[in-house]
Structure 1
Amino acid sequence: MEIAAQLKRGISRQFSMGSLRMSGKFSFKRQNSLDPRCNTLRFGFGRQSSMDPIRRTPQEELSVPENLDATMQLLFMACQGDAKGVQDLLDDGIDVNSIDLDGRTALHIAACEGHVEVAKLLLSRKANIDARDRWGSTAAADAKYYGNVEVYNILKARGAKIPKIRKTPMTVSNPRDVPEYELNPLELQGTYQVAKWNGTKVAVKILDKDSYSDPESINAFKHELTLLEKVRHPNIVQFVGAVTQNIPMMIVSEYHSNGDLGSYLQKKGRVSLSKALRFALDIARGMNYLHECKPDPIIHCDLKPKNILLDSGGHLKVAGFGLIKLSKLSHDKAKLLQSDKQIDRSSLYVAPAVYRDEIFDRSVDVYSFGLILYEMVEGVQPFHPRSPEDAARIMCLEGKRPTFKTKSKHYPLDLKELIEECWDPEAVTRPTFSEIIIRLGKIVANCSKQGGWKDTFKLPWV
């Protein structure tokens, strides 16, 4: 009875499952209880799926427990080879394609155990011959794996397909070496770029198919994953997981329907001082976290409004880091690995040292931050209406900086001084993000004391 109780508690739902086809759409319904690394009790008797990475020991000689969920009764009878019991349940209206927590049907179970009569009965009741479990295995694949030739031949004669296992450049030989962040691509629902996970929208970045044979692209993919896996901060885009053991390989992160700061500024123009300071604090906190990562700081190198996302609560999250390949010269010194391929010199936010392919440090991100803060308060990009490419050349090669046009009442003097220090030609003059956070906090406090907008801006420490 204890087994029955545990099994019943482990059942979350039952429903019919059609054949899943990789047509560019995904179902992303992963639950923690479905993680193969968890010890949640599932269908704990009989042979497991041929593609399950965890080798489980089946429990032998179990009589059917009472009070079992109908789906579990069907799977139990299929496991025992009890064709009469299976028929009775189907006659009572149990769906022949009901699944357990691992997406396994009675046909999967019968194929694993080699019960020919049960398999024939299930097929006569229109069991889905190509239904896949959560690991992508079909009944035919299971029958073949366990050497149940007669069941396999029956399924093959009915047109069953064996899923092809395509290895990726990151495929591991030992299933226990599968990364903790690994996701099952069959659990994604939606279109590429945007999918759902536990009912929440997520962003999906897919590795281009031409990159699988390119070692540099694979190394860049691995590097990005390494960084995303270790960073956790409210002002950094949240990493959800990745697909590395199946094709297509992909990175999944949180999705923000409000878009990026670049689109926001293009639509709104100049934002209020209170919002500009709040946004600036969000960016500074996220960047300070990246710069203080151990053992080595994460230098963004491509900080720009398009790489800053706006969440539903009106806060900003830094994204797009880890994409620039760097050659680390020391703890805080680096150089571009391939400048011609990586840097977009039409981006006006690129720092002079990066633009000129020189050795640089974390201050290149502070330079970009200064230009972003300028744009938020001024409402236009530096040197507008010149093209971004011209503006970048003027600032990086000629050393010029844009002028401040907004009236002084909208531009506290200490904020102007902070921006000028951020984009100073000398890297050593630029403040760190930890210093920027302190100075922005003082500006917020001073503006709040003046009473102009204290009701519309909450102090960051409140």
Structure 2
Amino acid sequence: MKNGEDSGIGSLPILQAKGNKPVSCATSPSSSGTSPCVSPSSGVGSTDRVREKARVSRTSLILWHTHQNDVSAVRKLLEEDPSLVKARDYDNRTPLHVAALHGWMEVALCLLDNNADVNAQDRWHNTFILKNGMRSFYQPLSDFFLCSFLTLTFHGPCLGAPRKDETHQWRNGPEIMLCMPLADAEGAKKKNMIDLLKKHGGSSFGQSGSHFEPKQVPPPLPNKCDWEVDPSELDFSSSTLIGKGSFGEILKACWRGTPVAVKRILPSLSDDRLVTQDFRHEVNLLVKLRHPNIVQFLGAVTQRKPLMLITEYLRGGDLHQYLKEKGSLHPLTAISFALDMARGMAYLHNEPNVIIHRDLKPRNVLLVNSSADHLKVGDFGLSKLIKVQNSHDVYKMTGETGSYRYMAPEVFRHRKYDKKVDVFSFAMILYEMLEGEPPFSNFEPYEAAKRVAEGHRPMFRAKGIHPDLKKLTEECWHADMSRRPPFLDILKALEKIREATLSADHSPAYFPAKS
């Protein structure tokens, strides 16, 4: 929330779970065996559920690697679990069906060597022998595409398995012959595969197989269903207010049993075009970010009102409150905190897709826990994503964006600027950690920013600060933004200063204090 300074994949594989209850795999299969979702209606106990999830995951893996023609991965899976040769997807198609359809000879041989059923039947109703006699070519093909669509359809923002009320119309439709791997190979005109399957006793019912299935898709990728949250899952019964601004509030709530931080837009502003635009902009940025020193985005409510953004809840609170309670920090503690901030900012500033935070301040830097072990950078409501063509390019962006007390002079003056505005704000925070008070604390925020724009900088008064740390801070708040170091260089300098400070005194007092 902002209130000046003071406001605080295409279709996924659908698998068949125990008891013919459908579930949808919402993650990309990997060799590590990432478990897909399990239907909450499966009715198994916790132990059985774990076992069932593992089974569904392995099923997903072997079907996926078969589709990818990855014979070594298929062989490895079969060595670990020979029963996977009989794995079935939601439509009872085995790995051999998939290999036959695409003509993957090595994979098919591997499966057959592991006793794959050459005449396994799938559940697709797509041969052209109907119980009501022969129809035209187009009607059964149309029926098949209808079946495919209902099976792979999207429900709301997420892909899911078909529900009973959506499938009864075609499940009671014409009774059509089931298909075998050989029918797939014949329908796809894979001559070598046809010869191989016939050699192993393959039979063919009909001529079309299941080769009219929708076009195969790339590996499942995260989409909206990965992060869109149903607001009914959020429990505000024992929520506490973390912060409040002019556009909304930040609450500690509970989501699926886990404490989370929820930024909730005021209902009265949910229809405001600019507010919703800023909200969606922040969500789109956070979805892309993955770093230990960046507050982790968990989900958002974008389809209903009020709009809500959900992130991890960090128990240590923000740096502003921490400094207010602790005062000036020991230099090594300040360096440790500065390293965490710089790591997060170096990640954001990585070219060519640079994210300029534009509101880096103590309130937007959060402590992981009450022990103050680590920091994370958060609140990207004013951040700007730009594609850098040249490292020395500057950009015309909104002036006076952010909090005045930590604002770079070029922003205050409405000049063109780049990612180095974050380096300036970082320097002001580093100063505050060392001195125990905000820069120009005897001035109002606007007046403080004005003094900075006029060339003034806060004075160091604290004793025991390493000269190189002072020098680095002064370089970071240089009036000429081109002379401010990038965060990768700041990290190197801080590491050297840390080592020098440690070697100067090995006493325990030099290690970061625990609150």
TM surpasses 0.5:
yes
Match for residue 188 of structure 1 among 220, 228, 234: 234
- Name the structure 2 match of 1:300: 357
User: Which residue of 376, 379, 404 maps to 1:320?
Assistant: 379
Match of 1:115 in 2: none
SS in 2 for 1:297: strand
Residue number in structure 1 paired with 2:132:
none
Q: Show the counterpart of 1:105.
A: none
Aligned counterparts of 2:289 and 2:310: Cα–Cα separation in 1: 14
Does the 8 A contact of 1:7 with 1:43 survive in 2?
Answer: no
Within 2, Cα distance between the matches of 1:241 and 1:277? Answer: 32
SS in 2 for 1:262: helix
* CA distance in 2: counterparts of 1:178 and 1:288, whole angstroms: 27
Does the CA-based 8 Å contact 2:233-2:256 persist in structure 1?
no
Are 1:273 and 1:377, in contact at CA under 8 Å, matched by a contact in 2?
yes
Gap change, CA 1:43 and 1:203, over 3 Å in 2: closer
Distance 1:241 1:5 in 2: 27
> For each residue in 1:287-340, what CA deviation from the matched residue of structure 2 results, as whole angstroms up to 9, or x when unmatched?
111111x54110111100011001115211001224246787856655565546
Flag the 1:297–1:5 CA change in 2: closer, same or farther, 3 A: closer
Which residue does 2:486 correspond to in 1? 432
* Match of residue 404 from structure 1: 460
Q: Which runs of 5+ in 2 are unaligned?
A: 1-15, 28-34, 44-88, 93-154, 157-162, 169-221, 240-249
1:259 correspondence with 2:317: yes
**Alignment equivalent of 2:423, drawn from 342, 348, 366:** 366
- Do the aligned residues in 1 keep the contact of 2:338 with 2:430 (CA within 8 Å)? yes
Distance 2:387 2:269 in 1: 24
Q: Do residues 418 (structure 1) and 472 (structure 2) align?
A: yes
Q: Deviations over 1:69-91 (max 9, x none)?
A: xxxxxxxxxxxxxxxxxxxxxxx
Q: Distance in 2 between matches of 1:215 and 1:278?
A: 41
CA distance in 2, matches of 1:193, 1:264: 19
Compute the displacement of 1:261 (Å): 0.4
> C-alpha distance in 1, partners of 2:18/2:352?
45
Question: What is the 5 A alignment of 1:140-219?
Answer: 178-190=224-236, 191=239, 193-219=251-277
Matched, 1:352 2:409: yes
* Aligned residue identity for 2:472: L
1:41 deviation in Å?
A: 4.3
State the 1:247 CA deviation.
2.3
Distance 1:444 1:329 in 2: 32
- Supply the distance in 1 between the matched residues of 2:501 and 2:320 (Cα, whole angstroms): 26
Q: CA deviation at 1:8?
A: 12
Contact between 2:253 and 2:261, CA under 8 Å: does it hold in 1?
yes
Compute the displacement of 1:225 (Å). Answer: 1.3
Provide, for residues 176-215 of structure 1, a one-character-per-residue CA deviation record: whole Å limited to 9, x for no partner. 9744211121111123722113432101112333444333
Distance in 1 separating the partners of 2:363 and 2:433: 13
Tell me which residue corresponds to 1:222.
Answer: 280
For 1:42 and 1:399, how far apart are their aligned partners in 2?
A: 62
Q: Which amino acid aligns with 1:226?
A: N
Q: Matches of 1:233 and 1:186 in 2, distance apart?
A: 29
Opposite residue 233 of structure 2, the aligned amino acid is: E
1:387 to partner: Cα distance:
2.4
Q: Name the CA shift for 1:432/1:177 in 2 (closer, same or farther; >3 Å).
A: closer
Shift of 1:245: 2.1
Q: Distance in 2 between matches of 1:418 and 1:143?
A: 65
Q: Give TM-score, length-normalised by structure 1.
A: 0.59
Letter in 2 for 1:243: V
| Residue aligned with 2:287, SS | helix
**Alignment match of 2:435 (pick from 378, 386, 411):** 378
C-alpha RMSD of matched pairs (Å): 3.8
Residue 393 (structure 1) aligned with residue 450 (structure 2): yes
Matches within 5 A, 1:222-241: 222-241=280-299
Q: Secondary structure at the match of 1:416?
A: helix
- Structure 2 CA distance for aligned equivalents of residues 258 and 371 of structure 1: 21
1:173 equivalent in structure 2:
none
> Could you say which structure has the higher strand fraction?
2
Cα distance in structure 2, aligned partners of 1:277 and 1:39? 43
SS at match of 1:348: helix
Alignment partners' CA distance in 1, 2:498 and 2:354: 28
Deviations 1:80-127 (A, max 9, x none): xxxxxxxxxxxxxxxxxxxxxxxxxxxxxxxxxxxxxxxxxxxxxxxx
CA distance in 2, matches of 1:335, 1:217: 23
Report the residue type matching 1:280 in the other structure: A
Q: Sort the Cα spacing of 1:270 and 1:7 in 2 relative to 1 into closer, same or farther, 3 A.
A: farther
CA–CA separation in structure 1 for the residues paired with 2:42 and 2:256 = 25
SS of the equivalent of 2:406 reads coil
For the 8 Å contact 1:195–1:202, the answer to whether it is kept is yes
Counterparts of 2:316 and 2:337, CA distance in 1:
14
Shift of 1:413: 0.7
Identity %: 40
Question: How far off its partner does 1:242 sit?
Answer: 1.0
The TM-score, its normalising length taken from structure 2, stands at: 0.53
2 CA distance for matches of 1:222 and 1:331?
Answer: 28
**Structure 1's 184 and 282: CA in aligned 2 closer, same or farther, altered over 3 A?**
same
Q: Report if aligned partners of 1:7, 1:41 keep a CA contact under 8 Å in 2.
A: no
Distance 1:10 1:335 in 2: 51
